[in-house]
Amino acid sequence: MSLEDVPSSSDPYRLPRHMIPSRYDLRLEPDLAVASFSGEATIALTVKQTTKTIQLNAVDLVIESATIEGVKGQTFTASVELEPDTQRAKLTVGEPIPPGECRLHLSFHGKLNDQLRGFYRSTYKDATGARQSLAATQFEATDARRAFPCWDEPDFKAVFATTLVVDPRLTAVSNTSVIAESIENNKKVIRFAETINMSTYLVAFVVGQIEATPPRFVGRTPLRLWTVPGKHSLTSFGHDIAVASLTFFENYYGVPYPGDKLDLLAIPDFASGAMENLGAITFRETALLVDQQTGTHAELERIADVVAHENAHMWFGDLVTMAWWNGLWLNEAFATFMEMLAVDAWKPEWKRWDSFAVARAAAFSVDGLVSTRPIEYPVRAPKDADAMFDILTYEKGASVLRMLEQHIGSTAFRDGVRQYLRTHAYGNADTKDLWTALGTVARQPVPELMDGWIFQPGFPLVTAEVEGNHLRLLQQRFTYITETSTAGQLWQIPVQIRLSIGDRTEHRKLLLTERETSIRLPAGVTSVFVNEGGHGFYRVRHQGLLLQQLLDQGLECLAAIERFALISDAWATTMAGLTPLPEFLRLPTHFKNERNKNVWTVLLDSFSFLNRIVSSDDRAVLEAFVRGCVKPAFNELGWEPRSGESDLDRQLRGDLLGALGKLGNDAATQQEAAERYQRYRNDLTTVDPNIVPALVTILAHTGDQTRYDEFSERYRTATTPQEERRYLFSLATFRLPSAAKRTLERTINGEIRTQDAPFIVGALLSNVHSREQAWDFVKANWDQMDRLFPKQGLRRMCGGIVGLATPELEKDVRGFFTSRKIDLGGKTLDQYLEQLRVAVSFREREGGTVRAVLMNATE
Ligand code: BES
Ligand code: ZN
């Protein structure tokens, strides 16, 4: 081997490590008018091994020149070769570069694209109706390489010193404060302070006619919100939670905020919800801006969640970063967990941990598939990195953290987190590092406990039954479809049990590590609840007598989160064929007095599922069944809010109303909804905001062409992001085929933003009245959608196929994805297809008797 040969990595997607960048001096000059940019980068490098080649990432860039300045001042000019398949640039020099320090100078240019990734263009209409542009960035996971050539892997951390050269009428924001501003050649030249040592995916620039709120300070950190002109009245709520959560995190983490300022920017076109660029967090408008007077509880909670989540990342993700994308959960699960803690501390009355149960249940529904994956999972290609941003990383990850926190205690957990952050600040870490910190502080064998939850796919079903004077607990992997290969899996399960003995309660805590165990029951036990508090990431089957005792005793004896677990677990075992459908459908009668919106979410979701699998002949019977369940609860709440009611009750009213009018197809409710909607149009203050989404949904569901046109207009002229979104989604709710056709066309003709279009198609695929039409449209326009829509949007859109729950459609769906060789990254497509299989096999199993069962249950 000659001296200058560098072993190229066997993985074409990883860069060789013989050169390590430590600092980037970037100068970028975007031109909004022609949607292009030019740039220069000077990258300080440490050469570890003599070499003639430099490999770094670049894609869709033209590199005009590359020169290397060595230690002794000698300069090498490199030839440049781009490798589009691996998104790399290979620079080659004539003479070997010796080990030591050197500087790489690059000049390049590229386009401001419309794909909402890399350096891209977003557009909006100003107050006069004229179209305006701004430029923004979205680099995670692997798109910094589209804005400047770089070592675009999370463990190549470096310092960034950015200069933006812009039209003097525009404003520019980046990760740090502005340190100098001048005019050169009729351009505004803005220099930003150096960043901390950080990953490329966290770099950000936003350039446009954007306006900031006055700063509010958290300690010394100025915190501002930015919007396009005219939206300042929508910033106060986001600002409040931003200040509250930043304060909360500085206290919890015991480490000061790592940036020198914090800007939160609302971008009109944005692929995901928000992005945690250090000091310059970007958001889609619905995730940051809201009118507090007209926003619903769910809309306000969404903003609180997203803002708290991104702020949590300033430490978890930005200060300490996963070494590679297989460990993405360290970023996202933690940010999700911390989001709950912060929002719960800010608004305890929202009971955020209770509604987190809904997210946990969503994770169960994917993790119950044979095609699930472990939380930590190998990643090679960029597509696979993108596919890691899923429910398993976020919601399963956050759930197992919550389980661990409850198991070792919240103080030990917090102190372990502090130690982890202090140890790895400005660097990278992996799962083992986290267990080491938590285990040391808690003095408990954390890796042994947690490895099964992070490195194994799936989760356990715990079956609980009484045998004599013992309680027997048995674990097995939960799957919807029987699969023998999963039989041997075991977890270390922290189990909390509550025993009721008449009026007295006793608590038991144990770690179930074997397949089964049993504990002795004290004399006179009247009921047993397994998974007390509902924190465990497992489902429970209370068998026979145990279930009967809980029901006899009355469900009001359980906490809301426990009632949620009971019904959610019962529904899951029904879908898996372990509980007969009639038995499940008897349960809603026990929830007659239920006033918890999360518990109702499970019930309503189970009805929606049935709606997707019943034949159209049976739909009327299902509707009657839904009315029978929902009406008593809704009548009891009434149409009007009562004094002293909580935000959660108001939300529940909206949820029940929507279900009654749409799934229940209740004529009287539809009539009254139309009247109230008219009143609302005349005077927005006459109706509680929380029922407005339901009114709009019901009116769309029952609407004709005139109403479609009216709602289209309301979408176009909406004054808040939430109102715009509400009317946009209503366009996917009409039952008229002509309306569905029109909405589908608008998803690809530019009338609907590409940030939203895939979700609208997804909604049409899930709507039983439009699903076939939508599916035909997707097949016919796949290539165009693939080109137009942001990648993650396209992936989410495909999630809509799980609603195509007939044997014929299922076959067609499989055929399409196979013949077109479509890869959605990771295991995404396999999971959607298996969810569809689960739904269709449920239909095949229960479809014949569901009518009789529903009629029986209605009586
Ligand atoms: N890091 C993500 C943003 C992201 C998502 C980048 C997908 C690349 C691909 C950000 O922190 C995030 O998680 N955003 C969530 C919202 C959050 C409240 C769960 C989102 O965008 O949905
Ligand atoms: Zn996140």
Residue with the nearest Cα to atom 16 of ligand 1?
Answer: 273
Neighbours of 834 (CB within 10 A): 21
Quickly tell me which residue has 């020149």 as its tokens.
65
Contacts of 350 (CB under 8 A, 6+ apart): 297, 301, 343, 344, 647, 648
* 798, 791 Cβ separation under 8 angstroms: no
Tell how far the Cα of 332 is from the centroid of ligand 1, in angstroms.
Answer: 8
CA-to-CA separations, 269 to 55, 124, 363, 720, in angstroms, rounded = 33, 8, 28, 15
| Claim: this prediction has a pTM higher than 0.85 | yes
* 679, 673 Cβ separation under 8 angstroms: no
Cβ of 309 less than 6 Å from ligand 1: yes
Establish whether 310 is a catalytic residue: yes
Q: Kindly give the interhelix angle for 597-613 and 560-575, rounded to the nearest 10 degrees.
A: 20
pLDDT per 10-residue tile (average), the chain, 859 residues:
51 93 98 98 96 96 96 87 96 92 97 98 95 98 98 98 98 98 98 98 98 98 98 98 98 98 98 98 98 97 98 98 98 98 98 98 97 96 95 98 97 98 98 97 96 97 96 97 81 97 94 97 96 97 95 94 97 95 92 94 97 94 96 96 94 98 98 97 94 98 98 97 98 97 98 98 97 98 98 96 97 98 95 98 92 85
Instruction: Tell whether the torsion through CA atoms of 41, 42, 43 and 48 is positive or negative.
Output: positive
Distance CA 562, CA 385 (A): 35
Residue with the nearest Cα to atom 3 of ligand 1?
Answer: 275
Cβ of 140 less than 6 Å from ligand 1: yes
Cβ of 275 less than 6 Å from ligand 1: yes
Distance CA 84, CA 548 (A): 63
- pLDDT at residue 592 in the model: 86
- pLDDT at residue 856 in the model: 87
Can you tell me which atom of ligand 1 is nearest the CA of 273? 21
* 618, 854 Cβ separation under 8 angstroms: yes
Ligand nearest to the CA of 270: 1
Residue with the nearest Cα to atom 20 of ligand 1?
Answer: 273
Distance CA 146, CA 117 (A): 8
Distance CA 63, CA 81 (A): 9
Tell me the three-class secondary structure of 85-102, residue by residue: CCCEEEEEEEEEECCEEE
Alpha-carbon 502 to chain mean position: 44
Active-site residue, selected from the candidate residues 310, 395, 834, 846: 310
Instruction: Tell whether the torsion through CA atoms of 714, 719, 723 and 729 is positive or negative.
Output: positive
Neighbours of 345 (CB within 10 A): 16
Distance CA 309, CA 291 (A): 21
Residue 75 tokens read as 């300069």
- pLDDT at residue 10 in the model: 75
Distance CA 720, CA 726 (A): 10
Choosing from 139, 275, 315 the residue with most ligand 1 atoms within 8 A of its CB, the one to mutate for a pocket test is 275
460-467 and 539-542: which strand pairing?
parallel
Tell me the three-class secondary structure of 605-643, residue by residue: HHHHHHHHHCCHHHHHHHHHHHHHHHHHHHHHHCCCCCC
Alpha-carbon 596 to chain mean position: 24
Distance CA 511, CA 453 (A): 14
- pLDDT at residue 5 in the model: 47
Quickly tell me which residue has 């290979």 as its tokens.
90
Question: Which is nearest to 214 in space by CA: 192, 241, 232, 231?
Answer: 232
- SS3 at position 367: helix
Residue with the nearest Cα to atom 22 of ligand 1?
Answer: 273
Tell how far the Cα of 322 is from the centroid of ligand 2, in angstroms.
Answer: 13
Tell how far the Cα of 182 is from the centroid of ligand 2, in angstroms.
Answer: 36
Distance CA 90, CA 311 (A): 37
- pLDDT at residue 3 in the model: 43
Burial pattern 583-620, b for ≥16 Cβ within 10 A else e, equals: ebbebbeebeebbbbbbbbbbbbbbbbbbbbbeeebee
Choosing from 318, 388, 389, 391 the residue with most ligand 1 atoms within 8 A of its CB, the one to mutate for a pocket test is 389
Cβ of 141 less than 6 Å from ligand 1: yes
Can you tell me which atom of ligand 1 is nearest the CA of 394? 19
Q: What is the side-by-side strand order in the sheet with 539-542?
A: 516-520, 470-477, 460-467, 539-542
Neighbours of 397 (CB within 10 A): 27
Tell how far the Cα of 215 is from the centroid of ligand 1, in angstroms.
Answer: 25
* 744, 774 Cβ separation under 8 angstroms: yes
Task: Report the alpha-carbon angle 110-117-234, nearest 5.
Answer: 120
Contacts of 180 (CB under 8 A, 6+ apart): 189, 190, 191
Choosing from 152, 198, 200, 272 the residue with most ligand 1 atoms within 8 A of its CB, the one to mutate for a pocket test is 272
Burial pattern 16-25, b for ≥16 Cβ within 10 A else e, equals: bebbebebbb
What single DSSP character describes residue 522?
P
* 359, 537 Cβ separation under 8 angstroms: no
Residue 66 tokens read as 């590359």
Question: Which is nearest to 629 in space by CA: 610, 642, 615, 648?
Answer: 610
Residue with the nearest Cα to atom 13 of ligand 1?
Answer: 332
Can you tell me which atom of ligand 1 is nearest the CA of 276? 11
Which residues have a beta carbon within 5 Å of ligand 2, which is an ion?
A: 332, 335
Residue type, 106: L
- pLDDT at residue 617 in the model: 93
Quickly tell me which residue has 């708290």 as its tokens.
308
